[in-house]
Amino acid sequence: TGAISSLQRQMEIQESKLRRIRSEKEMLQKQLREREVQLQAVSDKFCSLTEEQKQEEMMVMMEEENRNLQQVVMEQESQLAEQNKLISECQETISQLRAEVVTTRLHLLEQKQAQKEIQSQAEALQHKELQTRVALERISTKFERYRSKIIQATFSMEGIQDPPGELTDDEVLEAMQKIFNERTELQQMLKNKGSR
């Protein structure tokens, strides 16, 4: 947004400069027209003089006026050429600034779109994280109930002493393995006894 404002300010400055140059050009053209009117007036004046006076004054005045007018015309043509050059440069600069404004606005739109997509992805991840936490809590609750049932089943058997305190998972597995081994031995003994 700051870049766009800066470009717009530059564009306004260039347009103001262009208006000023065009105004100066119009003023030079007006001066040129005034000189042409003066020349026409001199020419009309010569028409009202006698033939002899015309010849004498015409030579002097025309030479002087021609020199002056030629000098003025050359200066004004040079100034007009310079003004036209400045106008072309200003128009080119304004076109470049307008193109930069359009490009900058496109970049801003792309950045806003990317920001929206990132925000949407972040919201989706947050939603997924929440679902995962809920599922994890549900699984943890089931696991604790299952572990509690295993401990209860393991230590409720005859001949098994109650645990002195909180059991670790390894201790529960060790107790279950002990019961499994004892039952396996008992089954083997019963098979052997049955075969005899």
pTM over 0.75: no
Distance CA 126, CA 17 (A): 55
Specify whether 128 is located in the same domain as 111: no
Specify whether 170 is located in the same domain as 100: no
3 state DSSP class of 157? coil
Task: Give the residue from 87, 115, 143 where a domain finishes.
Answer: 115
Specify whether 24 is located in the same domain as 95: yes
Question: Is 2 inside a domain boundary?
Answer: no
Q: How many independent structural domains does the chain possess?
A: 2
Mean pLDDT of 142-170: 75
pLDDT attached to residue 121: 94
Distance CA 15, CA 32 (A): 26
Specify whether 19 is located in the same domain as 108: yes
Are residues 65 and 42 in contact, defined by beta-carbon separation less than 8 angstroms? Answer: yes
pLDDT attached to residue 139: 93
Distance CA 67, CA 70 (A): 5
Task: Give the residue from 76, 95, 115 where a domain finishes.
Answer: 115
Task: List the domain range (segments joined by +) for residue 45.
Answer: 8-115
Specify whether 135 is located in the same domain as 180: yes
| Helix ranges restricted to H, the chain | 2-48, 51-155, 169-195
With a cut of 80, say whether residue 165 has pLDDT above it: no
Task: Give the residue from 115, 149, 174 where a domain finishes.
Answer: 115
Are residues 83 and 24 in contact, defined by beta-carbon separation less than 8 angstroms? Answer: yes
pLDDT tens sequence across 18-68: 888 888 888 888 888 888 888 888 777 766 666 666 577 667 877 887 788
Distance CA 144, CA 132 (A): 18
